[in-house]
Structure 1
């Protein structure tokens, strides 16, 4: 296995992280999964902005462990949670970087949601 060499964000692949500055609520249907005023907005290259929500502001009783792992050369190793809700489980709907690379260290302790499975709204 080859060593993973972190890539540094730059002009060809910019990444910025800043405080969102407004309330962010994540819902599945009417169920509130997360509610925070401490979210971070991560903007990466041409991807849509992603809200990273402090894990402390997530209803952890809904999180289920996942064996899924992925790798991003800019952020590091990602781990996942599923969401266990009354209408079923949404596998791997939540991701996080337990030990993100230095360039994105601010997202440690935060999670993000796949917006095709969870409705995430800033300014909610």
Structure 2
């Protein structure tokens, strides 16, 4: 059995997680898959910011867990969901860290969506 490389965020690879005050709505096939005002924004190194949406604000009846997994040495093991109503484009469109590493523990019980695998992610600034 090989151990996985575990890294801590730092100056060479910063990661921050902060609450968002915006309303985030994710749509596929004309249906709202997720809608929240309780998202978190994860900023990691030079990657674009990612909205993590609380699981209670996601319609899991529209999702299907897949066997696809990935590993991030900063965040941990990641599992995926497809959105069947979105067709091939929406395969593995949603990801989740069920047991994230302590450095990003806030994203537990949250999911994120690939913008190019859903029809729309609307971000409405808080008034």
Instruction: State the TM-score, normalizing by the size of structure 1.
Output: 0.93
Per-residue deviation, 1:121: 2.4
Q: Shift of the alpha carbon at 1:2?
A: 2.1
- State the shift of 1:10 in Å: 0.5
- Distance, in Å, in 2 between the alignment partners of 1:70 and 1:113 is 15
Give the match for residue 88 of structure 1: 87
Distance, in Å, in 2 between the alignment partners of 1:98 and 1:26 is 21
Moved over 6 A (4+): none
Give a deviation string over 1:4-26, Cα, whole Å, max 9, x none: 13200001000000001111111
| Displacement of 1:29 | 4.4
In structure 1, what is the equivalent of residue 19 of structure 2? 19
CA contact (8 A) 2:80 2:93 kept: yes
> What is the alpha-carbon distance in structure 2 between the residues aligned to residue 80 and residue 7 of structure 1?
22
Measured against aligned partners, the alpha-carbon deviations of 1:57-83 in whole angstroms (never above 9, x if no partner) come to: 011111102000100000000000011
Provide the C-alpha distance between the structure 1 equivalents of 2:50 and 2:122, rounded to a whole number of angstroms. Answer: 11
Q: For residues 97 and 122 of structure 1, what CA distance do their matches in structure 2 show?
A: 22
The DSSP-based 3-state class of the residue aligned with 1:42 is: strand
Structure 1 segment 3-82 matched on structure 2, within 5 A: 3-82=3-82
Unaligned runs of 5+ in 1: none
For residues 16-48 of structure 1, what are the alpha-carbon distances to aligned partners after superposition, in whole Å with 9 as ceiling and x for unaligned? 000011111111242211000100000000000
Q: CA RMSD in A?
A: 1.4
Greater strand fraction, Structure 1 or Structure 2: 1
- 2:40 and 2:79 mapped to 1: Cα distance? 18
